[in-house]
Structure 1
Amino acid sequence: MPKMRDNELSNGGLESPADEEEEGEEEEKEITVPNPSSPTLFSPQLKAMMRIRNKYQALKKRRISANSAAPASPRANAPEVFTFEQLAAQKKKRRRKSRVLFPSDSRKFLPKEKERSRAKPFLILFSIIVFLQVYNAIENLDDHVVKYDLEGLEKTLGREVFGQKRGVETLMEHLRDYLSTYSHKRPLALSVHGPSGVGKSHLGRLLARHFRSVVGDQLVVQYFALYNCPPSESPGQCAADLTARVAQVVARAEADERVPVVVLDEAQAMRPPVLDALLELLRPDQSNEFLNVVYVLLGSLGHEEIVRHVLQNSSSSSSSSSSSSSFWKGQEDDMEDVIRGSLAEQHPLWAEMDVVALTLLEKSHVVECFLEEMTREGFYPDLGHVDQLAGELSYYSAGGRQYSQNGCKQVVAKVNLL
């Protein structure tokens, strides 16, 4: 035992594994467990040290035997090499998440509702404001239309202008669209064309009378080419007078914030200087008061095209109705294009205007003219007598229909002879 202590002290208390194994074997041989009945030769501290050393040696032997039993890996001592496959495998492992499976018999709780957005009330308020603005704008449009009583004008024209239902509807569409607002980018220029006796002049008188009643006599100009500008007067002076008259009316209308109406009849008798003056009044680069004007020209220019178009296409209509509006509903656009092309060759003014075509009157419309005129003169309208008077007029025959060559122009003369 003294020899063992000397070896421990000489090694500084540190021994190599080989020395420890040799010493362990020697001590196992030398050290014997004393008999508990015999008197002890060691102190309790030394016994504890011996027990600890024996346990250490036993654990060491077990570790050595386990390492010798396991197969040696060829790459055990080889350095580790980094590869991207290992990184990808690690990422895949990281991305894998365990799925939470709810039992079928368990109760699922819905997530709590999100907090109510504070912007939603402001969005509702903004929508209400926009709706009120749009509604107010529509009401203002209706106010403008009501101001000119276009509904009453349409009823009057439909009642007193015979056989021109489609033409009246087109005219009212233009007026309704234009008069729905006060500020415009260009004037409204309508050119009403038709053969003799179809009601052009009568239409002009009705327009002038209606607008005088709603906007005032001072804001309506009724111009007759043969009366206001006779052949004896200089055409240049006629153009200057017309321009000055229109300027006076539009200045007064600008102060009243209303749209004036200029009705020009007998357009076929207007000379080039007067047409040039009208073309200048229609330019869009003028002051505001000249842009808020309605011009209605009435004339028989292009009546040959209208007559030819009606007679050529009357056979294509299979309807037996005496009303011509259903017939012209599909033919009006083509007829207006033909008239506009023919008029544009005569003067550039017609290319800047919207054409409204009045068609030929049938015999049934002439009968209505006789009834109206006889009632106005105080005669009892006998239908047999009226048919006899209407049969004395000249007609075109086409497609099983009879179209009056002069319209209702001779009705007044016939009634005056009664």
Structure 2
Amino acid sequence: MSDQYSSDRLSHTDGEMEEGEQQNHDNNNLQSLSAVSASLRAVIRIRQKYQALKKRRLELAGAVLGSAVVGGGAGGGGFQTGAPTRTSPKIFTFDLTSTGAPSASPAMPQRRKRKKRRGVMYPTGGSRRTPPVQARSRAKMCLYLLCAIVCLQVYNAIENLDDHVLRYDLDGLERTLRREVFGQQGAMEDLLGHLKEYLSTYVHNKPLVLSLHGPTGVGKSHLGRLLAGHFRSIVGDALVRQYYVLHHCPLQDDAWHCARALSTIISEMVTRAEEEEKIPLFVFDEVEHMHGEMLDALRELVVSRRSPNEYLNAVYLFLSNLGHEHITKHLLRNASSVATAAGRHGVLVRELTPILRETLSKIHPLWAEAELVPLSLLEKSHVMECFLDEMTREGFYPDHAKIERLAGEIEYYPSVGSRQYAQRGCKAVVAKVNLL
């Protein structure tokens, strides 16, 4: 009985196991079926949506055809009552209608297609991209060429100016004046500045007229001789003229003849200088004794405009003591105000030039065309330099004690500060050295 019970129990257990396995199998089938059914349902939904979309497109195509029929039959008066009216946008489609004809769309204006501009193409093989080379402008090259020509012309003109200045050796003249003329450094700088500016070129619109003014014994005649000697060594003796008024024309009765002769001499020299492309020099000493007829003749030559280049390339140097009282008075009053000689000369030129020009214009209008260069009084140290130079020329031993004794015998103005100005400058130096 127990065996029967155990066998029944085993059979019952096996039945339960088979039933469980069957149930698991059914569950697996249901899961696989549900997965298949989900996919199937998705496919069905997609198909339904596609069918609905297709039907809608067919309806839209029928509406478009109906509107076309209504528009075409406007003359005949035909109108389809059953055609649906839609306000939705008209869509063009390539789907076929039920009759097999393609769906039509209203005629729309076609837009003109713009051509796409091709971008800058760079070579893909190399790692370095080279920008496109622009074409060079010929106008720019012509501009560069023109600038180069102008620069060469300017450089050539500057070189020609330097050559013309070097021709007259103004550096050598400056050294000579510094060595030979005492106490007139500021005046010599002004004189050399005018000469350098005028002699830097050959073409001028007026001659250079220089008028040196100063008291007796300050070196006017000596300066005229130095300038004449320097120009003779440069342009020749035929193009340099020294005219001493008291020697060449001392009498008033001969003034008219002297004026004519002087005009003839100047005309001949200027003509010859034009042929040789040189600038002549005319030195007139003791101009304070020159007669009015001669001054008129000189002014006519100086301001002449008869031809473009006649009597324009010439240097006139006038030496006189006109206005010396203004120079003496100014120096005695302002001697202690300025320390340096250059500063004193600058103040002298700035303050005395208007006074001198006004005074000289009353004498004759010739000085309105001249550049005024005032010469200052000589101090005691300058007089000692004059004695040293003269004694050296005459062969005397330059004893300082003797030079100081001779300089002390010269008459001086009352001392102004620490300066003593000689009344006659170096005028008596030559006579005192000759007495040794």
TM-score range, shorter chain: 0.7 to 0.9
Residue 309 (structure 1) shift: 1.1
- Partner of 1:177 in structure 2? 197
The residue type equivalent to 2:368 in the other structure is A
- Partner of 2:421 in structure 1? 403
Residue 285 (structure 1) shift: 0.7
The residue type equivalent to 1:376 in the other structure is R
The residue type equivalent to 1:306 in the other structure is I
Asked if 2 retains the 8 angstrom alpha-carbon contact of 1:163 and 1:325, the reply is no
Q: TM-score, normalised by structure 1?
A: 0.72
Bigger CA radius of gyration: 2
- Partner of 1:23 in structure 2? none
Aligned counterparts of 1:110 and 1:178: Cα–Cα separation in 2: 59
Residue 231 (structure 1) shift: 2.0
Residue 121 (structure 1) shift: 3.0
Is residue 275 from structure 1 mapped to residue 295 from structure 2 by the alignment?
A: yes
Residue 395 (structure 1) shift: 1.4
Q: TM-score, normalised by structure 2?
A: 0.69
Residue 62 (structure 1) shift: 10
Deviations 1:106-127 (A, max 9, x none): xxx9974533333333322222
Residues 118-133 of structure 1: matches in 2 within 5 Å? 118-133=138-153
- Partner of 1:380 in structure 2? 397
Deviations 1:64-95 (A, max 9, x none): 5x77xxxxxxxxxxxxxxxxxxxxxxxxxxxx
Residue 59 (structure 1) shift: 7.2
Aligned counterparts of 1:164 and 1:240: Cα–Cα separation in 2: 35
Aligned counterparts of 1:353 and 1:360: Cα–Cα separation in 2: 22
- Partner of 1:295 in structure 2? 316
Deviations 1:1-25 (A, max 9, x none): xxxxxxxxxxxxxxxxxxxxxxxxx
Residue 329 of structure 1 aligns to a residue in which SS? Answer: helix
Aligned counterparts of 1:174 and 1:284: Cα–Cα separation in 2: 21
- Partner of 1:364 in structure 2? 381
- Partner of 1:70 in structure 2? none
The residue type equivalent to 1:164 in the other structure is Q
Aligned counterparts of 1:360 and 1:56: Cα–Cα separation in 2: 127
Residues 321-340 of structure 1: matches in 2 within 5 Å? 324-340=341-357
- Choose which of 274, 280, 305 in structure 2 pairs with 1:260: 280
**Identity across matched positions, percent:** 54
Residue 365 of structure 1 aligns to a residue in which SS? Answer: helix
The residue type equivalent to 1:242 in the other structure is L
- Partner of 2:41 in structure 1? none
- Choose which of 217, 221, 224 in structure 2 pairs with 1:201: 221
Residues 4-403 of structure 1: matches in 2 within 5 Å? 63=84, 112=132, 114-231=134-251, 233-287=253-307, 288-317=309-338, 319=339, 324-396=341-413, 397-403=415-421
Residue 56 (structure 1) shift: 6.2
- Partner of 1:38 in structure 2? none
Residue 398 of structure 1 aligns to a residue in which SS? Answer: coil
Residue 187 (structure 1) shift: 1.1
Residue 355 (structure 1) shift: 0.6
User: Mind listing any 5+ residue stretches in structure 1 that lack a counterpart?
Assistant: 1-51, 68-108
Aligned counterparts of 2:156 and 2:61: Cα–Cα separation in 1: 103
Deviations 1:166-205 (A, max 9, x none): 1111111111111111121111111111110000000011
Aligned counterparts of 2:422 and 2:320: Cα–Cα separation in 1: 18
Asked if 2 retains the 8 angstrom alpha-carbon contact of 1:301 and 1:343, the reply is yes
User: Mind listing any 5+ residue stretches in structure 2 that lack a counterpart?
Assistant: 1-54, 64-81, 88-128
